[in-house]
């Protein structure tokens, strides 16, 4: 697929976004599928590589920026959101993407991640979640399940895992979605939706690590089990799943969300998904569904509720400063002595 660049100069193709660098991940790593999906999708936006930036952190996902024929930076551990925030503020004309793993984003980088989301910085965050530290050879990560036996938890992990979707919604993220690395239709659809969102957008991508956590998401990706375990979220549609659509999500007697048999409760009792609700409480409740009941997992867009004013505020503050000082004055101020007086 190709698209005309925003300057109208040429058509863009997947090859325009493919770096000549040799792609090196472990054989079978889910990162390959994600990279291919992103490279194939980007031409649709019509934004040329020279106006696109990928900022990555430390970990296997950190190599992503090397494999994109765009501007990019391999940042230090956990700091990709901080770097990208500065870039998005100073250069609102660029499309800024963040690539980070569950360890990088949710451990040392957790603080930067939540503040980028709450500030609604116009960046798109791809969170690769394989529930393990891959680059450092198989230690428990912030998303590893309770009881997980790894090199760093030989008797099983005793830490309750982070739920990245719940964390993002709790931070006030205006776009939050979940997909799978090998879903060739769903992953690009989530990328399109995130790219169209005016503010911060986070996509959690379940990504298989064939060496240290192989098969972690087989129940969601295998043909024989997928229908029974994937709760597909579609805005405006009843939330139901199963091979015959025999199961659905309803409000329980206590107000909590529950999985029930449609034949028992009736179709009218099913929840209709509203991703555009300003109140994120329904999206948050859906994100907790797996933890509370086990088994089936919601996949799709949990929330897409743009807040245009919040998105514009960061770049707007910078433009206001430039208007007050002038570009030359602001540059001089930033490169002046260690202290200065404003308005003196």
- Each residue of 137-196: pLDDT tens digit? 999 999 999 999 999 999 999 999 999 999 999 999 999 999 999 999 999 999 999 999
Q: What is the pLDDT of residue 9?
A: 64
Q: What is the pLDDT of residue 320?
A: 74
Question: What is residue 90's three-state secondary structure?
Answer: helix
Q: What is the pLDDT of residue 1?
A: 37
Q: Backbone phi, then psi, for 277, in 5-degree steps?
A: -60, 135
Q: What is the pLDDT of residue 306?
A: 81
Query: DSSP label at 60?
Result: G
Q: What is the mean pLDDT of residues 229-251?
A: 95
Q: What is the pLDDT of residue 114?
A: 96
Q: Residues 192-239: pLDDT tens digits? A: 999 999 999 999 999 999 999 999 999 999 999 999 999 999 999 999
Alpha helices by DSSP H, listed for 69-153, are 80-90, 102-106, 110-118
Q: Which of 66-70, 287-291, 304-308 has the lowest mean pLDDT?
A: 304-308
Q: What is the pLDDT of residue 279?
A: 93
**Six-digit token pair at 128?**
């690769």
Which residues in the chain are classed under CATH 3.40.50.970?
3-216
Cβ proximity of 92 and 315 under 8 Å:
yes
- Binning pLDDT at 50, 70 and 90, where does residue 311 land? very low
On average, the pLDDT of the chain sits at: 90
3-state helix, strand, coil in the chain (%, to 5): 40, 20, 40
Burial bucket for residue 170 (CB in 10 Å: 0-12, 13-18, 19+) = middle
Q: What is the pLDDT of residue 335?
A: 75
Neighbours of 22 (CB within 10 A): 7
Cβ proximity of 48 and 6 under 8 Å:
yes
CATH class given for the domain over 3-216: alpha beta
Q: Residues 5-43: pLDDT tens digits? A: 655 567 999 999 999 999 999 999 999 999 999 999 999
How many whole angstroms separate alpha carbon 26 and alpha carbon 132? Answer: 14
- Binning pLDDT at 50, 70 and 90, where does residue 253 land? confident
Q: What is the pLDDT of residue 255?
A: 85
How many whole angstroms separate alpha carbon 259 and alpha carbon 284? Answer: 16
């Amino acid at each position: 697929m190709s698209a005309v660049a925003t300057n109208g100069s040429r058509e863009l193709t997947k090859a325009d976004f493919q770096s000549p660098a040799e792609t090196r991940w472990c054989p079978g790593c889910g990162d390959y599928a994600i990279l291919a999906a992103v490279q194939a999708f980007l031409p649709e936006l019509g934004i040329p590589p020279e106006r696109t930036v990928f900022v990555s952190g430390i970990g296997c996902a950190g190599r992503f920026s090397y494999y994109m024929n765009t501007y990019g930076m391999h940042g230090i551990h956990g700091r990709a959101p901080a770097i990208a925030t500065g870039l998005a503020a100073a250069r609102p004309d660029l499309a800024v993407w963040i690539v980070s793993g569950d360890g990088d984003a949710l451990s040392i980088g957790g603080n930067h991640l939540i503040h980028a989301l709450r500030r609604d910085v116009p960046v798109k965050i791809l969170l690769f979640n394989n529930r393990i530290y891959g680059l450092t050879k198989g230690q428990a990560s912030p998303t590893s399940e309770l009881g997980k036996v790894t090199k760093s938890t030989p008797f099983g992990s005793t830490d309750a895992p982070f739920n990245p979707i719940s964390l993002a919604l709790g931070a006030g993220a205006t776009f939050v979605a979940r997909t799978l690395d090998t879903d060739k239709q769903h992953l690009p659809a989530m990328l399109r939706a995130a790219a169209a969102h005016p503010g911060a957008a986070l996509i959690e991508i379940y990504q298989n690590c064939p060496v240290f956590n192989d098969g972690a998401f087989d129940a969601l990706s295998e043909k024989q089990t997928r229908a029974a375990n994937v709760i597909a979220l579609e805005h405006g549609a009843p939330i139901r799943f199963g091979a015959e659509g025999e199961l659905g999500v309803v409000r329980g007697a206590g107000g909590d969300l529950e999985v029930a048999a449609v034949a028992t409760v009736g179709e009218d009792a099913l929840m209709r998904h509203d991703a555009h609700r300003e109140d994120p409480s329904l999206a948050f409740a859906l994100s907790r569904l797996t933890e509370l009941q086990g088994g089936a997992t919601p996949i799709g867009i949990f929330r897409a509720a743009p807040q245009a004013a919040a998105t514009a505020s960061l770049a707007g503050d910078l433009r206001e400063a430039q208007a007050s000082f002038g570009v030359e004055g602001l540059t001089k101020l930033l490169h002046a002595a260690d202290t200065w007086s404003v308005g003196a």
